[in-house]
Chains A and B, each alone.
Chain A
Amino acid sequence: MAARRLSSTPLLGLWTALVLLFLFAPLFLVVLFSFNTSEISIFPIQGYTLEWYGRLAGNEAFRSALINSFVVAAATVVLATALGVAMATGVHRYGARWRTVLRSGAGLPMMVPHLILGIALLSFYNVLQIDLSLLTVIIGHSIVAFPYVFLIISARLVGSDPSIEEAARDLGAGTLTIFVEITLPLLAPAILAAALISFTLSFDEVVVTFFTTGTENTLPMMIWSMLRFGITPEINAIATLTIVVSCAMAGLAEIAIRRATADSTRR
């Protein structure tokens, strides 16, 4: 047994390396070609330049799309996380025999294709005579992100020890106090993870965005429409920036989660 495990270690390492290569090689290429002097994304690299980033910096449409994307993502984080945490806690505590039904209901938006969701929202807003704007995009993105928040929080709730809350109740704490003092701190790492996932989902979303936006563009919409005539180095540059933002988010999440876990074990 021990011998087998030993011999499998280098194989496992190789396998892991291959999987990682498969996952990250395309992203690496995008980053590489964003510094390429040639407009065509093939090897050999002709030379290195920052020209494409310079062009982006001078591009007014790009700047406003970037700002729009950040605004929408930030608002989506707040809305989707608040709704998701409330729903997950509610279902967990008071769902009783409806729990299963409610759980699958909350996950439903995840199953609906974004195209259908986008068109449905568009005609819904139209029926209600709601003018499309970034606000309608934020609502759309919150629907997209909500099930993920719900699932992450629910998983954490299922794994948590109910006796802590029972002890607090025995000591005379009210429902609100328990929620603020016990439940929320326990959920903190999960909430953070859910918030970061919501941010990334919103920051990348293009289909729902297209159908729910008024006269504003977001970054993915801009990339998508620029692709009509091929992949230019400017798109590679935008993609690189997006990758950097996503990686930063993931990194932050990792650090925060570690701190949170360390704190809770110390207590």
Chain B
Amino acid sequence: MAERLDLNLLLPAGISRRRVMQALGVAGLGASALSAGAGRAVAQDRLLNYFTWSTWGEGPFVEDAKKKAGIDLKPTFYSSSDEMMAKLRGGGTKLYDMIVPVQNYVAPAAKAGLIEPLDPASLPNVKTLFPEFQKQPQWSVDGKLYGVPFVWGANAIAFNRKETGEVDSLDVLFDPKWKGRLAMRDEPEDSLGVGALKLGIKEPYAMGEKELQEVKKLLISQKPLLRAYWKNVADVQNMLASGEVVAAWTFLAVIAPLRKAGVDAGWVWPKEGAIGWSEAITPVKGTKKLKLVQDYANFTLSPEYGEFMARTTRYAPSSKAAVDRLEPALVKDLGIDPKNVSRLTFKAIPKDKARWNEIWNEVKAS
């Protein structure tokens, strides 16, 4: 029952948890009657409690980890990064050994004391990755490494080739020819990011007020051309399938179902740039199984895992050795263009997040 400051965010300053427990007269309660659940204390040796997106905790991944790495995964699902942070902040660090953050949440989680660095020497598979992913600045905080991404992707443009022909630029999303048949995402980092890329702003997530205002003006001028700002990816997928929308800023995940449904759907990282994301295994602060977490992190960087993941989920592995095992047609389908990774702008938490939200609300309300 060591005192852990990071778990006490919700207590008034100066009151230790122990004192609160004594005051409530229930000091023994936690240890005895209610600890029936499978916490870390009763976990077996090779078991990792895995707090993750549902994709990485599905049956095939659990079986694969058991079979190839001899690790038992016990996944618990979250559905947004903010949810994940809130649960860890509220005491979830006691429950889980590892999480799968998106790169823009690494620094906030590290600063809040929710995650633990890993030893670079424990990840020999890093050598087999594309060089771009071996050293991703957002995965290190204060010189400590918090993860090496095993999966990555880009939010970019999906288009209906039959209607628009080939597309290579963001211009299509601002083309009056497609008035009422375009869609953007209802999320400030994505949509203001697109505006910044269109204006040629070098570091979108470090924009100042003047640039934000220009982006706002641009997006307001784009608004009459849009059919919708989509919130759920299923909505934009349906609109692309029905032909209501001919081009949209969206996720790669829409493409495969669209093609299966007979739509000639194209996918392109526009020449102005695309917005990238990456995810990695990161140890939770205070895990007693750091070594095993590192073993699993290294396993996710293996060619076997990368190939398996690409085939089952259609996400792009960061492992070059994995991509080498895939047929060229599949590589193209996955939207992997390793030569162009430098064109990606990896999403970061903007310096002034509140201001970004305000600007985005102003665009939507205009």
Q: How far is the CB of A50 from chain B (nearest CB, A)?
A: 18
Flag if B77 contacts A221 (CB, 8 Å): yes
Chain B residues whose CB sits within 8 angstroms of the CB of A134 once the complex forms: 37
State the CA gap A210–B76 with chains docked (Å). 9
State the CA gap A225–B76 with chains docked (Å). 10
Q: Which of B51-108 contact A (CB under 8 A)?
A: 53-55, 57-59, 62, 74-80, 83, 86-87, 90-92, 94-96
Which residue of chain B is the closest to A123 with respect to CB atoms?
B10
Flag if A131 contacts B30 (CB, 8 Å): yes
Residue among A38, A39, A126, A213 with most chain B CB within 10 A: A126
Q: Is B254 an interface residue (CB 8 A)?
A: yes
State the CA gap A123–B87 with chains docked (Å). 9
Flag if B58 contacts A61 (CB, 8 Å): yes
Please tell me which one of the listed residues B34, B90, B251 contacts residue A126 in the complex, with CB atoms under 8 A apart. Answer: B90
Please tell me which one of the listed residues B58, B96, B254 contacts residue A230 in the complex, with CB atoms under 8 A apart. Answer: B254
Q: Which of B18-58 contact A (CB under 8 A)?
A: 20-21, 24, 26, 29-31, 34-39, 41, 49, 53-55, 57-58
Flag if A38 contacts B261 (CB, 8 Å): yes
Flag if A127 contacts B17 (CB, 8 Å): yes
Tell me how many residues of A have a C-beta within 8 Å of chain B.
42
Q: Is A214 an interface residue (CB 8 A)?
A: yes
Q: Is B258 an interface residue (CB 8 A)?
A: yes
Flag if B30 contacts A130 (CB, 8 Å): yes
Among B173-181, B231-239, B337-345, the stretch in contact with A: B231-239
State the CA gap A27–B10 with chains docked (Å). 40
Q: How far is the CB of A60 from chain B (nearest CB, A)?
A: 5
Chain A residues whose CB sits within 8 angstroms of the CB of B29 once the complex forms: 128-130
Chain B residues whose CB sits within 8 angstroms of the CB of A226 once the complex forms: 54
Q: With A40-B237, A128-B26, A230-B237 given, is the CB distance from A217 to B62 under 8 Å?
A: no
Flag if A222 contacts B54 (CB, 8 Å): yes
Q: Is A211 an interface residue (CB 8 A)?
A: yes
Q: How far is the CB of B31 from chain A (nearest CB, A)?
A: 7
State the CA gap A90–B10 with chains docked (Å). 35
Which residue of chain B is the closest to A59 with respect to CB atoms?
B59
Residue among A42, A134, A222 with most chain B CB within 10 A: A42
Chain B residues whose CB sits within 8 angstroms of the CB of A58 once the complex forms: 59
State the CA gap A135–B35 with chains docked (Å). 9
State the CA gap A167–B237 with chains docked (Å). 68
Q: Is A208 an interface residue (CB 8 A)?
A: no
Flag if B77 contacts A225 (CB, 8 Å): yes
Which residue of chain A is the closest to B15 with respect to CB atoms?
A127
Chain B residues whose CB sits within 8 angstroms of the CB of A210 once the complex forms: 78, 83, 87
Chain A residues whose CB sits within 8 angstroms of the CB of B59 once the complex forms: 58-61
Please tell me which one of the listed residues A119, A126, A129, A217 contacts residue B86 in the complex, with CB atoms under 8 A apart. Answer: A119
Residue among A41, A60, A119, A228 with most chain B CB within 10 A: A228
Q: Is A101 an interface residue (CB 8 A)?
A: no
State the CA gap A127–B76 with chains docked (Å). 22
State the CA gap A151–B95 with chains docked (Å). 36
Q: Is A24 an interface residue (CB 8 A)?
A: no
Flag if B77 contacts A222 (CB, 8 Å): yes
Q: Is A122 an interface residue (CB 8 A)?
A: yes
State the CA gap A221–B57 with chains docked (Å). 13
Q: Is B328 an interface residue (CB 8 A)?
A: no
Q: Is B141 an interface residue (CB 8 A)?
A: no
Flag if A131 contacts B94 (CB, 8 Å): yes
Chain A residues whose CB sits within 8 angstroms of the CB of B124 once the complex forms: none
Q: Is B7 an interface residue (CB 8 A)?
A: yes
State the CA gap A127–B31 with chains docked (Å). 12
State the CA gap A221–B52 with chains docked (Å). 12
Chain B residues whose CB sits within 8 angstroms of the CB of A165 once the complex forms: none
Q: How far is the CB of A135 from chain B (nearest CB, A)?
A: 6
Q: Is A227 an interface residue (CB 8 A)?
A: yes
State the CA gap A213–B36 with chains docked (Å). 13
Q: How far is the CB of B28 from chain A (nearest CB, A)?
A: 10
Flag if B261 contacts A40 (CB, 8 Å): yes
Flag if A211 contacts B37 (CB, 8 Å): no
Flag if A135 contacts B21 (CB, 8 Å): no
Please tell me which one of the listed residues A60, A125, A136 contacts residue B62 in the complex, with CB atoms under 8 A apart. Answer: A60
Q: With A126-B90, A133-B37 given, is the CB distance from A40 to B57 under 8 Å?
A: no
Chain A window 117-157, contacts with chain B (Cβ cutoff 8 Å), 1 for yes, 0 for no: 00100110111111111111000000000000000000000
Please tell me which one of the listed residues B53, B55, B86, B95 contacts residue A214 in the complex, with CB atoms under 8 A apart. Answer: B95
Chain A residues whose CB sits within 8 angstroms of the CB of B10 once the complex forms: 123, 126
Flag if A126 contacts B91 (CB, 8 Å): yes
Flag if B253 contacts A230 (CB, 8 Å): yes
Chain B residues whose CB sits within 8 angstroms of the CB of A122 once the complex forms: 87, 90-92
Q: List 21 A-B contacts (CB under 8 A).
A: A39-B261, A40-B241, A41-B238, A123-B90, A128-B24, A128-B26, A128-B30, A132-B37, A133-B38, A135-B36, A136-B34, A211-B87, A211-B90, A214-B38, A216-B76, A217-B76, A217-B77, A221-B77, A222-B54, A227-B234, A228-B79
Given A131-B39, A230-B232, output 20 extra A-B contacts at Cβ < 8 Å. A38-B257, A40-B241, A42-B238, A122-B92, A123-B90, A125-B91, A130-B34, A131-B36, A131-B37, A131-B94, A135-B34, A215-B37, A215-B74, A215-B76, A217-B76, A217-B77, A225-B78, A227-B232, A229-B55, A230-B254
